[in-house]
Amino acid sequence: MDQRAEILRKIMEEKEMKVSDVVKISGLPYSTVKAILERGAEKAGYVNVCKICSALGISADELEEIVSNQNYEPSALAAHFDGDEYTEEELKKIKEFAAFVKSNRQKGE
């Protein structure tokens, strides 16, 4: 899987954006955006990738920096549920558990 496309999808998820949102902002055809996100950005035209990046609020240079960093993680906890909402206390516990799991990963556990 193309790393750039994966990062673009993560940023979309982080910003709670859909392909249709990127299409509206970028002016690109739906099929073009969908193909880049599914098949990869490496074979896509540079201008199209720049338009998608711009729609997501980043530059192509920032995308390359994220790719070279190799440790990109969304800054927001993205979760999708089937209509059930969590309370603030439950969300706090979920975030604490996620931090716990991450700390164990960093320790090599």
- Using CA of residue 46, residue 49, residue 54, residue 55, what is the dihedral sign? positive
Write down the number of H helices and E strands in the chain: 6, 0
pLDDT tens, residue by residue, 92-108: 777 777 777 777 666 66
Which of the pair, 70 or 19, is modelled with greater confidence? 19
Enter the pTM of the model: 0.61
Greater confidence (79 vs 25) lies with 25
The pLDDT value recorded for residue 73 is: 55
Q: pLDDT value at position 65?
A: 86
Angle between helices 3-14 and 19-26 (to 10 degrees): 100
